[in-house]
């Protein structure tokens, strides 16, 4: 088996595991016998009210987790790798399409796709999304990126947040958070015309990343991990402050509306997913919502494929 066949088989296995996880019945397992102190990092008994090493008092019991065999099956990395793959493929195709709108292939054209190519690839623009009612762009724009640095920074952040988010919320809710917060950020970004009176073009996975930050902040806060929760809270606040400052001084073009919209949606989802009492039908509701979002995304990629084929025909 050559390297290409090995890569295709790996992607097929990851896709199969992902779809199976959507309809797999979630079971509750016994709590672990130990837990990690959020202050000093030492392990103590799961039923202890305080840490023997630093005397930190735990506000709530340790959260329930899956058993060790399920936790080490690499499922969390499969979902993250799928996002990596979608973003990388979209970036490569946007660069190829960008070459159709430039007279000569330069380093700049390969590093940063042109706006016309990004728009044809499904970027979230005020006129296309709202005026032309191409709402599928709210799902496709998050997998596009404006330049090489943009995608590298976002994927580095996803490499840190992705496995943590998957461990805390599991596969279905991980994808729900990514898609819902990304769409929420896109809605606020496209609607920013009402405030700025300027047409915008938005791409990038950062709205969903801020959504993952918000959801994990709620999760850690509700389960007693105060120190880690405070770190995420500080990162959310200062991350937005720095991005807004860079935009105000025209140093970088950053879609702050997408960041804020994704973060707020992530906080709301975090509270919903960590609610102590949830109806029995919540899993079916989540499946229906996730299926609808996937259908919207696939329809958007179908539209992008038609435009892409027309540009190279």
Q: What is the CATH number of the domain that holds 171?
A: 1.20.1540.10
Distance (Å, rounded) from C-alpha 265 to C-alpha 257? 12
Residue at 12 is within a domain: no
Q: What is the pLDDT of residues 146-174, one digit of tens each?
A: 989 999 999 999 998 999 999 899 999 99
Give 193 or 103, the one with higher predicted confidence: 193
Distance (Å, rounded) from C-alpha 301 to C-alpha 101? 21
Pair 91, 210 in one domain: yes
Average pLDDT of the chain is 82
Active site residues: 206, 259
Please answer whether residues 13 and 73 qualify as being in contact, where contact means their C-beta atoms are separated by less than 8 angstroms: no
> Both tokens of residue 244?
């807004």
What percentage of the chain carries pLDDT values higher than 90?
A: 44
Q: What is the pLDDT of residues 244-253, one digit of tens each?
A: 999 888 888 8
Residue at 6 is within a domain: no
Q: What is the DSSP string of 43-61?
A: EEETT-SB-TTT-PBPSSP
Pair 39, 91 in one domain: no
What's the pLDDT score for residue 31?
39
Distance (Å, rounded) from C-alpha 206 to C-alpha 215? 14
Residue at 19 is within a domain: no
Give 263 or 116, the one with higher predicted confidence: 263
Q: Does residue 204 have a pLDDT over 90?
A: yes
Spell out where the chain has E strands: 34-36, 43-45, 124-125, 201-202
The pLDDT of 113-126, averaged and rounded, is 89
Pair 47, 153 in one domain: no
Pair 231, 127 in one domain: yes
What's the pLDDT score for residue 16?
65
Count up the domains in the chain and report the number: 2
Q: Does residue 198 have a pLDDT over 80?
A: no
Please answer whether residues 269 and 215 qualify as being in contact, where contact means their C-beta atoms are separated by less than 8 angstroms: yes
Pair 45, 183 in one domain: no
Give the residue carrying structure tokens 């993250």.
80
Pair 173, 56 in one domain: no
Pair 47, 109 in one domain: no
Q: Does residue 241 have a pLDDT over 50?
A: yes
The string over 215-231, giving b where at least 16 C-beta atoms fall within 10 Å of a residue's C-beta and e elsewhere, is bbbbbbbbbbbeebbee
Among 228, 207, 84, CA closest to 164: 228
Give 281 or 70, the one with higher predicted confidence: 281
C-alpha count within 13 angstroms, C-beta hemisphere, residue 171? 25
Domain membership of residue 143 as a residue range: 75-312
What's the pLDDT score for residue 202?
92
| Residue where a domain terminates, one of 65, 92, 110 | 65
């Amino acid at each position: 088996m050559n390297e290409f066949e090995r890569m295709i088989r790996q992607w097929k296995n990851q896709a199969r595991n992902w779809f199976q996880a959507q309809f797999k019945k979630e079971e509750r397992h016994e709590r672990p016998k130990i837990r990690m102190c959020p202050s000093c990092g030492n392990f103590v008994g799961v039923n202890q009210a305080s840490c023997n090493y630093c005397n930190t008092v735990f506000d709530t019991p340790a959260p329930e987790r899956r058993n060790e065999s399920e936790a080490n099956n690499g499922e969390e990395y499969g979902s993250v790798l799928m996002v990596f793959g979608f973003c990388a493929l979209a970036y490569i195709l946007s660069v190829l399409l960008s070459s159709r709108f430039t007279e000569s292939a330069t380093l700049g054209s390969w590093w940063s796709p042109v706006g016309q190519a990004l728009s044809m690839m499904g970027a979230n623009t005020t006129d296309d999304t709202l005026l032309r009612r191409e709402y599928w762009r709210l799902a496709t724009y998050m997998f596009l990126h404006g330049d090489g640095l943009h995608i590298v920074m976002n994927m580095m952040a996803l490499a840190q947040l992705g496995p943590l988010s998957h461990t805390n919320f599991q596969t279905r809710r991980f994808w729900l958070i990514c898609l819902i917060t990304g769409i929420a950020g896109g809605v606020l970004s496209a609607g920013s015309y009402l405030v700025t009176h300027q047409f915008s073009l938005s791409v990038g996975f950062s709205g969903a990343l801020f959504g993952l930050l918000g959801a994990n902040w709620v999760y850690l806060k509700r389960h007693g991990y105060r120190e880690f929760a405070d770190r995420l809270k500080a990162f959310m606040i200062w991350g937005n402050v720095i991005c807004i400052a860079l935009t105000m001084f025209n140093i970088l073009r950053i879609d702050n509306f997408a960041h804020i919209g994704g973060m707020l949606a992530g906080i709301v989802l975090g509270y919903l997913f960590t609610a102590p009492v949830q109806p029995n039908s919540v899993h079916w509701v989540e499946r229906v919502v996730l299926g609808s979002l996937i259908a919207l995304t696939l329809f958007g990629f179908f539209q992008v494929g038609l435009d892409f084929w027309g540009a190279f025909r």
